[in-house]
């Protein structure tokens, strides 16, 4: 088997997000593309999945790459029969909402990867959703790879174009396609984690800003979105580790070495996500503490003003009692004196509260 190309050639263009592939009128709703590759080059013409398998068997060389988009049971059944896919894996591919995993069925490998897309927004403090998820399922055989996508952002058109422009990558076989898919997905994790880091910086600055409008609900939203990213990233570590350790002969040694690079990148993302979760937990605690401190400050202000108001209330209440014999009741300067006493007492209390920072 020819040697696999250099790391830069195999990994493609890093951190480029997948884009959805549009179907042509001649294509069915679920079959996005079906191609036969011989010696790293795509054979001209259109193939059905049955014709593609027949062509590969006739040549005894090359492999088939067929891409499906959200097929139902009836649409995927013909492909499953042609390639001999296991019914349990087919059921998972149709129903979707699977955890990242790697299963081996006889001579077929079934891998699930969750895709993520960062949703642009004006501010993380006002966004309702930050991460959108999808899935890519891959059936890997000796001479075929079948990809099933769920989610409009999980397209593989760009990846297919890149690999077709570099025949030495496709010359390795369908395992190189699986590596390209895993590498593209993990690169998208890196891009999303970088965007998350910017959002968390904004939230952190808002939390510690005076009179910040941010509340605990925005923090819990971010934690929920981080949890969504965590569900995509963390479970993928075990499947990638298996592929690097020779879990199946369908992935040759020269490809396994490049899966190790993908695993290293996934480790980087996992560490970022874990640190994001810890930081958000700290920020939630800080937000709650800040809210409690603000409430205490407000209560002290209310209490201080209530104490100041109590002075004239008490004085006026005493002077307003209907007794005939009260000191200074008929004195000409009695009323001004009472007003001066009230103002003096209120001023003294105000200065005391200000000095103690209650006001």
Residues whose CB is less than 8 angstroms from the CB of residue 267 and which lie 6 or more positions away in sequence, other chains included = 237
In a domain, 8, yes or no: no
Kindly state whether residues 348 and 248 are assigned to the same domain: no
Kindly state whether residues 197 and 332 are assigned to the same domain: no
How many domains does the chain fold into?
Answer: 2
Kindly state whether residues 108 and 252 are assigned to the same domain: yes
Q: What's the sign of the alpha-carbon dihedral 119, 122, 124, 127?
A: negative
Say which CATH number the domain at 133 has: 3.30.460.20
What is the rounded CA–CA span in Å between residue 231 and residue 328? 80
- Helix ranges (H only) for the chain are 7-11, 49-59, 73-83, 87-95, 157-164, 167-170, 174-207, 216-233, 237-244, 253-319, 334-355
281-320 burial code (b ≥16 CB/10 A, e <16): eebbeebeebeeeeeeeeeeeeebeeebeebbeeeeeeee
Kindly state whether residues 239 and 306 are assigned to the same domain: no
Kindly state whether residues 300 and 208 are assigned to the same domain: no
Kindly state whether residues 275 and 338 are assigned to the same domain: no
- Identify the weakest region by mean pLDDT among 32-36, 67-71, 252-256, 292-296: 292-296
pLDDT of residue 101: 93
How far the first Cα of the chain sits from its last, in Å, is 80
In a domain, 145, yes or no: yes
In a domain, 11, yes or no: no
Kindly state whether residues 282 and 295 are assigned to the same domain: no
- Identify the weakest region by mean pLDDT among 16-20, 79-83, 98-102, 218-222: 16-20
248-270 burial code (b ≥16 CB/10 A, e <16): eebbeebbbebbebbbebbeebb
- Domain boundary (258, 286, 314) is at 286
pLDDT of residue 5: 46
Query: Residue 107 in contact with residue 142, Cβ under 8 Å?
Result: yes
Grouping H, G, I as helix, E, B as strand and the rest as coil, residue 146 is strand
pLDDT of residue 305: 85
Kindly state whether residues 326 and 259 are assigned to the same domain: no
Kindly state whether residues 262 and 351 are assigned to the same domain: no
List, as one string, the DSSP characters of 49-118.
HHHHHHHHHHHT--EEEEEEES--HHHHHHHHHHHT--HHHHHHHHH----SEEEEETTEEEEEEEEEEE
In a domain, 15, yes or no: no
pLDDT of residue 259: 92
Q: Using pLDDT thresholds of 50, 70 and 90, give the confidence band for residue 317.
A: confident
Say which CATH number the domain at 339 has: 1.20.58.340
Tokens linked to 61: 């060389």
How confident is the model over 21-65, as pLDDT tens digits? 333 333 344 788 899 999 989 999 888 888 899 989 888 889 999
Q: Using pLDDT thresholds of 50, 70 and 90, give the confidence band for residue 214.
A: low
- Domain boundary (286, 310, 330) is at 286
- Domain boundary (231, 255, 286) is at 286
In a domain, 159, yes or no: yes
In a domain, 295, yes or no: yes
Kindly state whether residues 86 and 114 are assigned to the same domain: yes
CB atoms within 10 A of CB 326: 12
How confident is the model over 115-147, as pLDDT tens digits? 999 888 766 666 667 888 899 999 999 999 999
Kindly state whether residues 274 and 302 are assigned to the same domain: no
In a domain, 151, yes or no: yes
pTM of the model: 0.73
In a domain, 234, yes or no: yes
Kindly state whether residues 282 and 298 are assigned to the same domain: no
What is the rounded CA–CA span in Å between residue 84 and residue 53? 11
List the domain range (segments joined by +) for residue 63.
20-286
């Amino acid at each position: 088997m020819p040697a696999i190309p250099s790391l830069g050639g195999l990994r493609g263009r890093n951190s480029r997000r997948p884009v959805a592939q549009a179907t042509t009128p001649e294509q069915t709703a679920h079959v996005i593309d079906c191609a036969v590759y011989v010696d790293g080059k795509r054979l001209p013409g259109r193939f059905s999945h049955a014709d593609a398998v027949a062509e590969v068997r006739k040549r005894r060389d090359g492999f088939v790459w067929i891409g499906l988009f959200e097929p139902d049971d009836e649409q995927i059944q013909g492909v499953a029969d042609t390639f001999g896919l296991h019914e349990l894996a087919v059921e998972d591919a149709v129903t979707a909402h699977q955890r990242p995993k790697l299963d081996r069925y006889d001579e077929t490998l079934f891998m699930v990867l969750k895709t993520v897309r960062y949703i642009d927004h004006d501010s993380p403090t006002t966004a309702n959703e930050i991460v959108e998820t999808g899935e890519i399922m891959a059936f890997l055989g000796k001479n075929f790879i079948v990809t099933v996508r769920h989610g409009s952002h999980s397209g593989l058109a760009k990846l297919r174009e890149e690999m077709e422009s570099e025949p030495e990558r496709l010359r390795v076989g369908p395992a190189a396609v699986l590596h390209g898919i895993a590498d593209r997905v993990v690169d998208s994790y890196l891009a999303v984690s970088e965007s998350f880091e910017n959002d968390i910086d904004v939230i952190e600055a808002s939390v510690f800003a005076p009179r910040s409008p941010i509340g605990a609900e925005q923090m819990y939203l971010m934690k929920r979105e981080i949890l969504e990213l965590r569900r995509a990233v963390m479970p993928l570590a075990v499947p990638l580790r298996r592929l690097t350790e020779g879990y199946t002969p369908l992935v040759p040694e020269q490809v396994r070495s490049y899966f190790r690079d993908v695993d290293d990148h996934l480790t980087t993302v996992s560490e970022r996500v874990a640190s994001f979760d810890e930081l958000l937990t700290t920020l939630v605690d800080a937000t709650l503490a800040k809210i409690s401190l603000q409430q205490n400050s407000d209560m002290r202000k209310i209490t201080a003003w209530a104490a100041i108001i109590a002075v004239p209330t008490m004085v006026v209440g005493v002077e307003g009692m209907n007794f005939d014999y009260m000191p200074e009741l008929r004195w000409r300067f009695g009323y001004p004196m009472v007003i001066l006493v009230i103002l003096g007492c209120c001023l003294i209390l105000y200065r005391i509260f200000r000095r103690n920072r209650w006001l």
